[in-house]
Structure 1
Amino acid sequence: MLEELFPNVKMEDMIEATNETLYMTTVSVAGTFILGLLLGLLLYLSGPGGLWDNKLLNWITATVVNVFRAIPFIILILLLFPFTDFLMGTIRGPGAALPALIIGGAPFYARLVEIALKEVDKGVIEAAKSMGAKYRTIIFKVLLPESMPALVSGITVTAIALISYTAVAGVIGAGGLGDFAYFYGFQRRDFDVVAVCTILIVIIVFIFQFIGDYVSRRLDKR
């Protein structure tokens, strides 16, 4: 029955494309989490009333974040071709898509990190200061633990955005389900291939959303 509904779908190729999408998503989510967390901390700590309160540092960080957030992802990929080629040795394939995915996702997540940190009770921070806690202690023992449920929710939203980015990257040869849907489905007018790729991407989104919601709820109950 499935062969009748999707006559042009080759299971082995579809599994390979799915694995490529999962690889791009998981690695880029990890990189985005690290880089976005650092940028978000800089935005929060150097902002008005922050622990560092540095206008110049805050302006520089905010400018970098805003510029890269404003660039459409497909254009960002093209702009990063020289950097990607230098770093990865190629501009094609799942690995070559990672720099653009991380650089495109981190500024978005950085703003979510900043919002999450601003929601931490100021009284808790002031109490830590009054007890003589150092900045490092406040960051790693107060700010990050208190905001962790929101940080997980934020990376979940970002991960779903990155899944859509992988599909866009596939159009220019990054591999994955986006690549498969465009080159082997749309261009050949085999729309059953496009349909299956779409279904698989939706399933991946649901999986990431479920995991993110589960982890966030568990952290919120602690």
Structure 2
Amino acid sequence: MNKTSIAESLPELWKALLETGQMVALSFLITLVFGTLVGVALRLTDHEGLRPNKAFNKVFGAIVNVFRSLPFLILLIAVIPFTRLVVGTAYGPMAAVVPLSIGAIPFFGRVVESALREVSPGKIEAARVMGASTGQIVRKVLLPEAMSPFVAGATLTLVMLIGYSAMAGTIGGGGVGDFAIRYGYQRFNTPVLLASVVVLVVVVQIIQSIGDAIVRGLAHKRD
């Protein structure tokens, strides 16, 4: 099999990077929305929460833990029928969004729950004394006060999704992972394989740096 030089593979690598960006961005947005809802539900129904519900919290928490503990490669294969049902196909970047979201939502949900636990009980109680509803406390006290760890957790989740997207390439999910397998691993082309790794590392470093800068900015405002 003919080997392709790094220069010759650049157009395909760029296309793969765009596919990775597409699947990661969409799955990240879905994860932010549903992961936040999961985290808020877990925190509110905790025994120290605003709406304690031991039975719901235990059952819902167990379901979240089950999905969070599944190895992503197994999850990729297990949800193929559901992926076909949702997007009509099990291959390509759009199909990869389904398992990426399912894999990340439970993780981010626990991150949000942990972030909300850091909010001072005194501020929550003050809001309750002033007559704020549960929804108002969540929107105006819990989430704003937990924004710094929330952003740090979101950055961690985004980096994790990039790693997951590379694994999605093993079953035809597209993106840089798929490029690395087809043009690097299967063709025994080490330079192209390493180029794929370098691209992902650079992207992760940029995202982590931006996330850290935002967290520092939020911490500075609070001080």
Question: Contact 2:64 / 2:106 at 8 angstroms: preserved in 1?
Answer: yes
Counterpart position of 2:148: 149
Aligned partners of 1:185 and 1:18: how far apart in 2?
15
Instruction: After TM superposition, give the deviation of residue 119 of structure 1 in Å.
Output: 0.5
**Superposition map of 1:128-167 within 5 A:** 128-167=127-166
1:25-48 CA deviation, whole Å, 9 max, x = no partner? 111111111111110111100001
1:146-195 CA deviation, whole Å, 9 max, x = no partner? 00111000010111111100000011100011001012110110111111
Cα RMSD after superposing both structures: 1.3
Unaligned runs of 5+ in 2: none
Q: Letter of the aligned partner of 1:182 in structure 2?
A: I
Counterpart position of 1:90: 89
Question: Contact 1:8 / 1:192 at 8 angstroms: preserved in 2?
Answer: no
Instruction: After TM superposition, give the deviation of residue 9 of structure 1 in Å.
Output: 4.5
Tell me the secondary structure at the aligned position of residue 67 of structure 1.
Answer: helix
Any runs of at least 4 consecutive aligned residues in structure 1 with deviations exceeding 4 A, and if so which? 6-9
Counterpart position of 1:122: 121
**Superposition map of 1:57-206 within 5 A:** 57-206=56-205
Give me the TM-score of the superposition, normalised by structure 1.
0.95
Aligned partners of 1:40 and 1:7: how far apart in 2?
43
Question: Contact 1:9 / 1:192 at 8 angstroms: preserved in 2?
Answer: no
Tell me the secondary structure at the aligned position of residue 132 of structure 1.
Answer: coil
Tell me the secondary structure at the aligned position of residue 110 of structure 2.
Answer: helix
Aligned partners of 1:178 and 1:47: how far apart in 2?
39
Equivalent residue pairs, number = 218
Counterpart position of 2:215: 216
Give me the TM-score of the superposition, normalised by structure 2.
0.94
Instruction: After TM superposition, give the deviation of residue 23 of structure 1 in Å.
Output: 1.2
Aligned partners of 1:202 and 1:30: how far apart in 2?
22
Unaligned runs of 5+ in 1: 1-5
Counterpart position of 1:55: 54
Aligned partners of 1:33 and 1:206: how far apart in 2?
21
Aligned partners of 1:157 and 1:103: how far apart in 2?
16
Question: Contact 2:100 / 2:161 at 8 angstroms: preserved in 1?
Answer: yes
Aligned partners of 2:162 and 2:28: how far apart in 1?
9
Counterpart position of 1:31: 30
Instruction: After TM superposition, give the deviation of residue 18 of structure 1 in Å.
Output: 0.7
Question: Contact 2:112 / 2:153 at 8 angstroms: preserved in 1?
Answer: yes
Question: Contact 1:8 / 1:190 at 8 angstroms: preserved in 2?
Answer: no
Q: Letter of the aligned partner of 2:123 in structure 1?
A: V
Aligned partners of 1:82 and 1:11: how far apart in 2?
34
Identity %: 43
Tell me the secondary structure at the aligned position of residue 90 of structure 2.
Answer: coil
Question: Contact 1:9 / 1:193 at 8 angstroms: preserved in 2?
Answer: no
Instruction: After TM superposition, give the deviation of residue 136 of structure 1 in Å.
Output: 1.0
Instruction: After TM superposition, give the deviation of residue 24 of structure 1 in Å.
Output: 1.4
